[in-house]
Structure 1
Amino acid sequence: MTSASLVGGTGLVGSYILSTLLNTPAISSVTAYSRRPIPAPEASPRLNPIIDSDSSAWATQISSLKIEEAPQIFFSALGTTKAKAGGLGNQRKIDFDLNLLLAKAAKDAGIKTYVLISGGLGGGGGTNSSNAFVRLKAELEVAVKELNFDHTVIIKPGLIVGDRGESRPIEAVFRGAAKLLGAISGGILKNAWAEDAEVIARAAVKAGLKASEARELEVKVWEVEQREILTLGQSEP
């Protein structure tokens, strides 16, 4: 049995990761860190919610875990938008600074496998991209790789399709197009550039378990891109 921790569990992909973890027999317990209460439907004897509005305090709680208390896998689906954060600088404080702080805390706690949900709109260029969002995500990927976990899994979706709680007008247009293309093509046209949040979540959990159990994984850093997300996420872990 494998234990897991999760940050970002109330977001679109994170909420599916949480429900997938709680419904996966191989997962013994899930500690979910959140600034607000976990939705009631997620209530489970295997769920240990840590609610603290000061998200920077999570790092202290994680790094202070004793070795025998530390989970085997740490999942991060943490992220926000420039509009919601009030500017790119504030977005960076969450998407990069807080994510990296928590990853370092997980490493200090002795957690062996780290799974990061990256991307969200696709795009190339990495740390040299002209797109600030793509560049920020690429910089975080580089930083967490340098922490040298036993296994680092980076999930790199294209457009994330699903119903968000907050308004993201530009994404909404693309999500509508993705749903339409998926409907008229049996999923073929959509899957080339967009993935359902639930599929991404299942892929993340399955990849995390494979990495933790060292099955079929010969590299320390496993970058799971769109085609592999679909392959992994089409069935339950």
Structure 2
Amino acid sequence: MATTAIVGGTGLVGSHIVNTLLSMPTVSHIAFLARRAPSNSTTQTLSESHPGKLATFVSPDLPSAWCSHLRTATPVPEIFFSSMATTRANAGGLAPQRALEHDANVELARAAKEAGTRVYVLISATGADKTSMIPYNKLKGDIEQSILDIGFEKTVILRPGMISGKREVGRPIEEAISGIGNVMGWVSQPLLRDWWTQDASVIARAAVSAAMKALQGSGAEGEKKVLYLGGKDIVRLGRTEWEET
């Protein structure tokens, strides 16, 4: 039985990760750290069906209160998921975006490592590159490198393309591009859609599948200290192999 923790669980991919973990009998505990309680109706229904499995810690004091909670969490989360992210527009500029996506993420990762977390799972993005001249790609690359520097037993980094699905807070440009990808995939073939965009539920299942493999040391993915998953691998783990099990 695996014990887990998640930050970013109120977001599009994060809420799907929480729902996936709730539905899995091999997961015994989910520490949910957020500024507000989960409002997703599916999450609420699954929580009622699995009482005591989801432990919610809500605090606006990010990251200090969250880090303190992680360091003393019981049970210790063996797997830590981070899908915590925002946009420059929502954050109010590049500096506050970096403060949340990089600085807070790294502090929480250090707290998880100190608590005894073995596997860290990061939802990053296609194009992440710490040497990039594009601010967004550089930010994502810096986050990845800072997490790797912490030295978890296993680290899983997912790099999806555009993410499709219904967000509580819309991202108009991303939704428009994703919509184009869905139409193109419908007109031609699903493979084109999968190359262009991945569904949030598929990304979530891929994250959980890779995390469990890493924890158990099973399969080719589970043996790697650092595992990167691009679009094709996300679709394989999150849809093709998932539906076969």
- Normalised TM-score (structure 1): 0.94
Shift of 1:77: 0.6
**Equivalent residue, structure 1, for 2:209:** 206
Superposition deviation, residue 64 in structure 1:
2.8
* Greater fraction helix: 2
Corresponding position of 2:61 = 54
Q: CA deviation at 1:65?
A: 3.4
- Separation (CA, whole Å) in 2 of partners of 1:24 and 1:186: 31
Moved more, 173-182 or 16-25: 173-182
C-alpha separation in 2, matches of 1:59 and 1:134 = 26
- What is the distance in 1 between the residues matched to 2:91 and 2:100? 8
1:118 aligned partner: 124
Q: Where in structure 2 are the equivalents of 1:170-185 lying within 5 Å?
A: 170-185=173-188
| 1:199 aligned partner, one-letter code | V
1:1-237 matches, within 5 Å, as 1-39=1-39, 40-43=41-44, 44=47, 45=51, 46-56=53-63, 57-65=65-73, 69-119=75-125, 122-123=126-127, 126-216=129-219, 217-234=222-239, 235=242
- Give the structure-2-normalised TM-score: 0.91
Size of the alignment, in residue pairs?
232
Shift of 1:192: 1.3
Q: Tell me how far apart the structure 2 counterparts of residues 65 and 195 of structure 1 sit (CA, whole Å).
A: 33
Q: Which shifted more, 32-41 or 4-13?
A: 32-41
Q: Secondary structure in 1 aligned to 2:218?
A: coil
Q: What amino acid is the match of 1:15?
A: S
Deviations along 1:25-61, whole A, 9 cap, x unmatched?
1111111111011125423211111111112110111
Q: Is the 8 A contact 2:214 2:223 kept in 1?
A: no
Instruction: Give the unaligned 5+ runs of structure 2.
Output: none
Matched residue type, 1:10 = T
The amino acid of 1:42's aligned partner reads T
Q: What is the RMSD of the two structures over their aligned residues, measured on CA atoms?
A: 1.4
Q: What is the identity, as a one-letter code, of the residue corresponding to 1:123?
A: G
Give runs of ≥4 in structure 1 deviating > 3 Å. none
**Alpha-carbon separation, structure 2, partners of 1:200 and 1:38:** 19
Shift of 1:182: 2.0
- Percent identity, aligned pairs only, is 41
Offset at residue 218 of structure 1 (A): 2.5
- Contact 1:161–1:178 at 8 Å: present in 2 too? no
Structure 1: give runs of 5+ residues left out of the alignment.
Answer: none
Separation in 1 of the partners of 2:179 and 2:117?
Answer: 39
Q: In the TM superposition, what whole-angstrom CA distance separates every residue of 1:166-214 from its partner, at most 9, and x where no partner exists? A: 2322112201101101212231211113111110000000000000111
